[in-house]
Chain A
Amino acid sequence: MTVVACYSLKGGVGKTAAAVNLAYLSGREGARTLVWDLDPQGSASFYFRVKPKMRGGFQRVIRRKKDPRRAIRGTDFQGLDLLPADFAARNLDLLLDRSRRPKRELSRFLRALRKEYDRVFIDCTPSIGLGAEGVFRAADVLVVPTIPTTLSMETLDRLKKHFRSKKRRPGAVWPFFSMVDSRKTLHRDICERDGSLPFKFLESRIPYSSDVERMGVHRAPVQTFAAASAAGQAYRSLADEIAGRLSKGRKAESAA
């Protein structure tokens, strides 16, 4: 099971859209996929038309007092399930703080699902508390949507520094440019700033597009209503790039 976390310290950068579209495409490529909506706002759950409520109660499920598998719900798409959001997730940091090994809690939780899914996409909340630390530890890959602006790059730098000071880091950090508006000079400039970027960026870029915003109207991934649009194609290329890097990584791992 590969855990891909869509994470950013900044809000409104396209984390949920990325998680939902990447998970949808992953399911369509034959991977048994789960989206875990860890954001108390419940946007991913909204897109999949699922009530943002965890059956059994968020606390009890996270602490595995209730079977996490019972909390999972099938989406409209075969091969793609959702662990819905819960408003109680706003207290995730507090909840983890009370456990004996707070940073390991989420990894342990996911371990219970490893036989059922090939890929898990986590839609994270924009914070850097214990919850985020738990995600960093559980994730094989951290996918970071980044708007090409000065502030976003600052945030990314900060994240890099943060990881440098930690013993335990996520398996890999793959940022990609999100909400790119090619009409803006600043966006174009930053996207072309190849050498001075804090991480090696994925090559695919998600354009700023009303089709992504229309996901809220259709309550479905872009691919289902605008597959041929620029955004649809961009997500497809992003998904292919990530799948390619994952399989390359797995080969290298098995060779090592």
Chain B
Amino acid sequence: MRIVLHIWRQANAAAAGRMVRYELPNVNTHMSFLEMLDILNEDLIGRGEDPVAFDHDCREGICGMCGCMVNGVAHGPLPGTTLCQLHMRHFKDGDELYLEPWRARAFPVVKDLVVDRSAFDRLIAAGGFISVATGSAPDGNAILVPKENADRSMDAAACIGCGACVAMCPNASASLFMGAKLAHLGLLPQGQPERDRRVMAMEAQANRELFGSCTNIGECEAVCPKDIKLEVIARMNRDFLHANWIGRGGLKGD
């Protein structure tokens, strides 16, 4: 099958980028999207051209490295998957695909389709952790967790931090990512000691990273490869309002 690709080429962070057209005459329908890009790159290297840089690692949808915009949709048209789990059988012969990197001020382009997502790491460093005593392993089931809370926490913990939510959000907001982390930790007893401080600190850090804010429209939820729900953002809002007005802690959080 024949696929026409328009790919954002940008030599480095400082360079200006542009869309470049590539034609792939023989794409196998069993290929994954990234394998198709591998084929393109082999071809480009053979011709002595610079291959297209794109992030990838596990190629089984669990690491959160891969991802780009495919025709304006993060991770492409198949819901609930990362780009590596998208196969070419979902496209038609002759399709034209526009590939662009995640675009956000907080995610500067490194090269071509690769962006720097360290802003997410700094959000986690600001509050996305719990403090535990190291040493010998605690007794199993010493701390009781309601099954429903464990399930909801696990659903939120499925977030792989790929950045599709930021990329898809018209405001480049990291709310779904933060909401997922806050729900993941805040639904468990181990997450309670730092709960108020966590939301205040992550919120302040998101502001410093120049992420946008949530307008409650759900683009993030629609493209999230792990199906994180918009409900976690409401939970974050509630946690923030609670920490700000009712919490007894100081406001040093950041």
Q: Is B a genuine binding partner of A?
A: no
